[in-house]
Chain A
Amino acid sequence: MSEQWEPRVVAFFCTWCTYTAADLAGISRMAYAPNARIVRVMCSGRIDPQFVLKALADGADGVLIGGCHPGDCHYQSGNYKALRRYTLLKRVLTEMGIEPERVRLEWISASEGDRVQKVMNEMAEQIRRLGPLRLERPPKPHRAAVKEREAVAVSSQGGAR
C-alpha cells in the first residue's frame, strides 16, 4: 500500500503572483514534483479556511497556499488577511491532531518561477515524510435533507420568520 501512495497536495495560488510564477516555471521548462493540484484564486485573501479543511477532509495530504509578497498584494491587503487566517487555522489543525506542517503558506512573486519549483519539491518531500493523512470521513448528513437545505441556500430566503 505505502509503495503506491503518492502525496496529494492541493495548492491554492493567487492569480497575480504565485499562479503566474507557476506559469513561468512551466514556460521555463522547470521540472518539479507533480504532486500538487493547483487551484487558481483571485487573491490569497479569497482562501476561506473552509477550502483548506475541505481539501484535507476530502483526501488531500497537504495544502499549499501561495500569495504575493507582503506589500505586493494586487488588492493591497488580501495576503495579510490570508496570513492571519493561516496563523489561526494552524492552531486549530494542531489541536485536531493534524501536523501543522501539512499546510504551508508561501509568498511567491510572478517572477519567481524557480521558487515555485523549489517549494513544490519541498512540499512533496515534506508530505512524503509525514505520510498519508487519510482523515476519517464525517458521517454524511442525510441526503434528502441536505439537498433541500442547499436549495434553500440558493434561493437565499432560508429560515422561517
Chain B
Amino acid sequence: MSKPKVGFYWCASCGGCEEAVVDLAEDVLKVVEAVEIVFWPVALDFKRSDVEAMKDGELAACFVNGAIRTSEQEEMAELLRQKSQLLIAFGSCSHLGGVPGLANLWDRQAIFDYVYKEAPSVTNPDGVVPQERLKLGSNGYALTLPAFRDTVRALDQVVEVDYYLPGCPPPVKLIVNAVMAILDNKLPPKGTVLAPDKALCEECPRKPTKPDKLALKELKRPHQIQIDSEKCLLAQGLLCLGPATRSGCEAPCVSANMPCTGCLGPTSRVKDYGAKALSAIASLIDSEDEKEIANLMEQIVDPIGTFYRYSLPASLLHRRVPHKGGAPA
C-alpha cells in the first residue's frame, strides 16, 4: 500500500510554523515513515506545476500556514483545497489571521505609502511602487507580480478548512496528536480546532497561586516589575490572557515569566477573541470609580495589539473602518 501523500504550504507568515515541523525532532521520523511529503516549498524542491498535475484529492492532507494577503496566496489556497482531502489551517495566521492580520489597521494604500515612500529608511526619489504588471520595452515582454489585497484574511475566509491547528507556532504535541489522529482516522467532526477546549489557566503551572478572586489595582508590563516566577501573573498585575485563551501549549511563555498573548485563540464558544479577552481583563479590574477605571485602562498601551494580536481578520470588525465612518460622500 502506498503511503498517504502530504503537503505543506506557507502564505503570509514568518516561517516559524515550518520551524515547528522541524521541532518535531525525532518524531518527525515517525511522520516521514508514515507519509510521503510531496509538496513543501520551504524545504523541498517542488513547484506549483507539480501540484497542478495531481488528481483532485490526491493529497491526503495539506497543512497551510500563514494568512492570505495576495492573489497568489488565494490561488494556492484554492488549488491546494482542490487537491487535498483534508485542508488544515496550521498556526495562528491561517487560523485567525495572526500577526500579519494586524495590518488590517491600515489599507493597501497606506501600507505602500509608508513602506515604499515614507519610512525613514527608504530612499525612493522616483516614488516607485510595485506594479502588478509592467511592460518592458517594445519586445512584448511583461513582468507580473501578485496583487496585494486591501485586507488580510484567515484561510477559512478564502476556502473551506477542515481542521485548525492553533498556535504561534502550533505546539509540537498538538501537531503530533493531529498527525496521529489523521493516520489512525480518529479525527473529531470537521471544523474542529485540534486542541483542548479549555482555557489556558486550567493547565497553567501557576494555577495553584491564582487567588479565588483576582482584583487588579494596576496593570503592569513585564519590564516594569521584578516578576515572581511562581505566582500567577495576573495576581502580579501583568496582563496575561490565559483566562481567555485555549489551552494545549502547556504554558511555555507563562513558565518563562512572559504573560500569555493569546496565540491559540479562543475556545469554541467564543466568536471574537479580542472582545472576550478584553471582557475578561476588564472584569478583573478592582475599581468602581469612573476616573480611576479610565486611568487604569489607559495603562493598556495598545489595545488592538494586546487583545487582537493574533485574531484581527477573524474578529467581528475584522479591519479598521477605512473612511473613518461619517456620512457618505
User: Which residues of A line the B interface, CB within 8 A?
Assistant: 1-2, 48-50, 52-54, 56-57, 70, 77, 80-81, 83-85, 87-89, 91-92, 95-99, 102, 130-136, 138-149, 151-153, 156-161
Contacts and interface: CB of A to CB of B under 8 A. Distances in A.
Contact of A147 (B186, B191, B196, B319): B191
A142 B160 contact: yes
Given A50-B316, A54-B271, A87-B294, A144 B160 contact: yes
Interface string B302-319: 011001100001111111
Given A50-B276, A143-B160, A160-B192, 9 more contacts: A88-B281, A89-B275, A95-B105, A95-B304, A96-B317, A97-B324, A158-B268, A159-B198, A161-B177
A92 B192 contact: no
A130 B160 CA distance: 38
The 3 closest A-B pairs by CB, nearest first: A131-B327, A97-B321, A138-B318
Contacts of A159: 188, 192-198, 248, 268
A160 B191 contact: no
Interface stretch (B3-11, B25-33, B123-131, B151-159): B151-159
A53 B272 contact: yes
Contact of B316 (A1, A57, A77, A85): A57
B190 to A, nearest CB: 5
Q: Chain B: interface residue count, which band?
A: 35 or more
B77 to A, nearest CB: 11
A1 to B, nearest CB: 7
B328 A91 contact: no
B317 A56 contact: yes
A81 B197 contact: no
Given A92-B303, A97-B321, A135-B317, A152 B297 contact: no
B325 interface: yes
Interface string B271-290: 11011101101110101101
A97 B281 CA distance: 22
